[in-house]
Structure formats: structure tokens, C-alpha cells
């Protein structure tokens, strides 16, 4: 049944194509597709985002795995629990207040500890407390700055959820999980539902379909690259990179709470460019030799990748962003980063 999740037709017309199982998939959406639906998805998405399963690479396979618990719980909700039979029934993620216990990775000790989380729709804030009887929360997070993503491989648990948010113009990561897949999916859906309601207040003239486009998405790409310092003479060091829309963040470790640095990717007309290789005379003293040069008005960044395929994929993502027109929000974000 879950094979139909990725099919845009959503009817039995897909069935003849599924006799041997779906052979296509969307690497950006993380869903399987029959051949007929893959053709439709190619018209909607960039062609290189819809591929035959035999040509998927390891990072793309991780996208599908990351959303497995979400798809599994959707199927259970529809067919086992029959949650969608009564359209008037209020779903668990539509409650005005949600609270419960989640396992959270400690910022300094590397241990997952039980923490109480409370999300209130009215004030649009997520709070968490170290103990049940604590009066003051450890953190208060505005939902409009949050991006929840499923990260089972990174967190090491099939129900792993990463929440990335902004506080005082600084990026912070929370790494969470719950043993019950329904519980972690309900938290994910509740966050998204509250975000959507706040978007409706912020943009009253926009329709639901337009507002859905404003909801946070999965990161465009994550993975390791090597990076040198601003003088270009420092050693190339292995870093974990996260590409979140126009923001390229890098960390010492994938489970770091805070990034070591952040690069904004603006438009090509404003002095941003990305190309293959390293500048002449640059000595790549790291383990990897497939170079990328990223030029910004502020600085030139040099990276190396482990493989030629990884190099091409990063470069394609960089250039796709650099060639896309910037929104007013993008310009505001660029200005903030310039003054950091």
C-alpha cells in the first residue's frame, strides 16, 4: 500500500506498473514511484531529482530512509487506526497544547537524556525542561525559526528527529528520538501544523497551497567535505556540511549543537560563483583531491570532496542556488550574516 504514497495519480491506474515493484524514485521527496508517475514527477521536479532506483547513490538512499518512519506511521494511521475516516475528528497533532517526554542528546556529554517538551499553539513556542517540576524552561524556541527533519542514520535511532532553529541569529541543533514511532511523528506533525497556522496569520492574503511552500523543507544536501582556512595555507580539515536553502553550515561533527561557521550563497550577479577545482598554486594537503572553489563577496572558500560524484553533486547544488533569484527574505538574511 505504501508504494502509492509517491504516486501523484493516487488511483489504481498505477497498479499495472507495480507488478514488479516500483522502479523509480524522487531523491528530493524520498518516495518510490511507478514508471507512469515518474514521468509526471519529472515535469514537476528537476530531471536529475527523479531517477531509476539502480542509479541512486548512497546520500540519495539516505533521504528515503530518513522518512521511513513518517511513511510507516501514515500507512498505520490510514489503514490500522483509520484516523481519516471521520473528517470532523480532531487529530492528535491538532491539539492546542502538546507535551511529553523525548530523549535529547546532551550538548556537551554526548548522552541522550529524558527531557520534557511542551508546544503551545497560542504563543507559537516550543519549550523543554530537564525535570518534571522545573518552572523555568531550559530553552524557548519560536516555531517560525524551526526546521524539523527526520535523521535516523545521523542520530543512530530509527525514530531520530533533528530540530534546527535560530536564536539571536545563531543556528542551534537539537537531536531527539522516541521509542514509539507514532509519538515522534505526532511531534513532527504538531510542529508543522502550528507553523502552518502561524503562517496563515503572517500572510492572510495567501492561499493554503502558497503557504505550504513556505513551510521548512529537508536540507538540500548534507555530507562531509574538507575545508581550508581563510589564508589558504592552513591544512584541509574534514567537516560536516549542511546546505539549508541559501545557508551552508559546517560542523566538526554531524551531531554538533552549533556550527563552526556559516556561508551565505547569494545570486551570481552579486559576486557569488562556484567552480570545479582549486586555484592555481593551492596545495591540497588533505586526504581528498576533488576540489571546489566557492567565491563570495566576503571571501573565497576552498573545499575538497572524497569522490568525483560527490564533487559534482555539491557543485550542482551550489550553482542551482546561485542561479536562482533572491527573495526579500534572502536579502535580509544576507545582510544579517554580513554583520556577524
Tens-place pLDDT, residues 200-247: 999 999 999 888 888 888 899 999 999 998 887 788 999 999 999 999
The secondary structure of residue 6, as a DSSP letter, is T
pLDDT tops 90 at residue 112: yes
Beta strands 50-52 and 24-26 are: antiparallel
Q: Model-level pTM?
A: 0.79
Integer Cα distance of 180 and 21 in angstroms: 29
Task: Give percent above pLDDT 90 in the chain.
Answer: 55
Q: Which three cell numbers stand for residue 19?
A: 507488478
> What is the average pLDDT across 146-161?
95
What average pLDDT score do residues 139-163 get?
Answer: 95
Task: Tell me the average pLDDT across 249-262.
Answer: 96
Residue 145 has pLDDT above 80, yes or no: yes
**Mean pLDDT value across the chain:** 84
Q: State the pLDDT at residue 337.
A: 74
Per-residue pLDDT tens over the stretch 258-275: 999 999 999 999 999 999
Residue 253, pLDDT above cutoff 80: yes
Mean pLDDT confidence for 316-330: 93
Nearest Cα residue to 123 out of 151, 144, 104: 144
pLDDT for the residue 111: 95
Residue 296 has pLDDT above 60, yes or no: yes
- Which has more confidence, 320 or 337? 320
Measuring CA to CA, how many Å separate 156 from each of 58, 112, 163, 338? 17, 11, 15, 35
What is the structure's pLDDT at 85?
A: 80
**pLDDT value of residue 25:** 75
Helix or strand or coil: residue 165? strand
pLDDT in tens, 164-204: 998 888 899 999 999 999 999 999 999 999 999 999 999 99
Confidence of residue 19 (pLDDT cuts 50, 70, 90): very low
Q: Does 11 score more than 60 pLDDT?
A: no
Give the burial class of 310: count Cβ atoms within 10 A of its Cβ; 0-12 exposed, 13-18 middle, 19 or more buried. Answer: buried
- What does the pLDDT look like over 22-75, one tens digit per residue? 677 776 666 667 777 777 666 655 555 677 766 666 555 555 566 788 888 877
Average pLDDT of span 306-322:
96
Cβ atoms 210, 195 nearer than 8 A? no
d(CA 168, CA 11): 47
Grouping H, G, I as helix, E, B as strand and the rest as coil, residue 94 is helix
Q: What is the pLDDT of residue 46?
A: 58
Residues 14 and 37: their CA atoms lie apart, in Å, by 8
Over 90: is that where the pLDDT of 300 sits? yes
Least confident of 25-34, 131-140, 141-150, 268-277: 25-34
pLDDT-derived band at 77, boundaries 50, 70, 90:
confident
Cβ(22)–Cβ(31) below 8 Å? no
Amino acid at each position: 500500500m505504501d508504494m502509492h504514497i509517491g504516486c501523484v495519480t493516487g488511483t489504481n491506474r498505477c497498479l499495472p506498473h507495480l507488478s514488479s515493484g516500483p522502479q523509480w524514485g524522487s531523491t528530493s521527496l524520498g518516495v518510490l514511484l511507478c514508471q507512469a508517475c515518474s514521468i509526471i514527477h519529472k515535469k514537476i521536479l528537476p530531471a536529475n531529482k527523479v531517477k531509476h532506483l539502480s542509479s541512486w547513490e548512497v546520500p540519495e538512499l539516505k533521504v528515503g530512509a530518513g522518512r521511513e518512519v513518517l511513511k510507516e506511521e501514515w500507512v498505520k494511521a490510514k489503514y490500522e487506526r483509520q484516523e481519516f475516516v471521520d473528517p470532523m475528528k480532531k487529530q492528535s497533532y491538532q491539539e492546542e497544547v502538546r507535551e511529553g517526554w523525548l530523549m535529547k542528546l546532551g550538548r556537551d556529554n554526548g548522552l541522550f537524556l529524558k527531557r520534557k517538551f511542551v508546544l503551545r499553539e497560542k504563543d507559537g513556542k516550543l519549550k523543554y525542561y530537564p525535570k518534571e517540576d522545573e518552572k523555568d524552561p531550559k530553552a524557548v524556541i519560536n516555531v517560525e525559526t524551526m526546521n524539523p527533519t527526520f535523521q535516523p542514520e545521523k542520530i543512530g535511532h530509527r525514530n531520530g528527529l533533528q530540530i534546527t532553529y535560530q536564536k539571536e541569529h545563531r543556528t542551534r541543533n537539537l537531536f531527539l528520538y522516541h521509542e514509539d514511532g507514532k509519538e515522534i511523528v505526532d511531534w513532527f506533525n504538531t510542529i508543522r501544523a502550528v507553523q502552518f497556522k502561524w503562517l496563515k496569520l503572517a500572510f492572510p492574503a495567501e492561499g493554503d497551497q502558497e503557504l505550504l511552500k513556505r513551510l521548512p523543507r529537508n536540507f538540500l544536501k548534507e555530507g562531509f567535505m574538507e575545508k581550508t582556512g581563510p589564508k589558504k595555507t592552513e591544512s584541509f580539515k574534514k567537516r560536516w556540511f549542511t546546505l539549508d536553502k541559501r545557508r551552508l553550515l559546517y560542523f566538526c561533527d554531524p551531531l554538533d549543537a552549533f556550527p563552526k561557521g556559516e556561508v551565505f550563497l547569494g545570486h551570481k550577479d552579486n559576486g557569488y560563483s562556484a567552480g570545479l577545482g582549486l586555484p592555481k598554486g593551492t596545495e591540497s594537503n588533505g586526504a581528498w583531491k576533488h576540489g571546489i572553489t566557492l567565491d563570495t563577496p566576503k571571501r573565497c572558500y576552498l573545499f575538497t570532496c572524497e569522490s568525483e560524484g560527490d564533487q559534482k553533486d555539491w557543485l550542482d547544488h551550489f550553482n542551482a542556488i546561485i542561479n536562482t533569484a533572491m527573495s526579500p527574505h534572502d536579502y535580509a538574511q544576507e545582510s544579517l550574516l554580513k554583520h556577524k
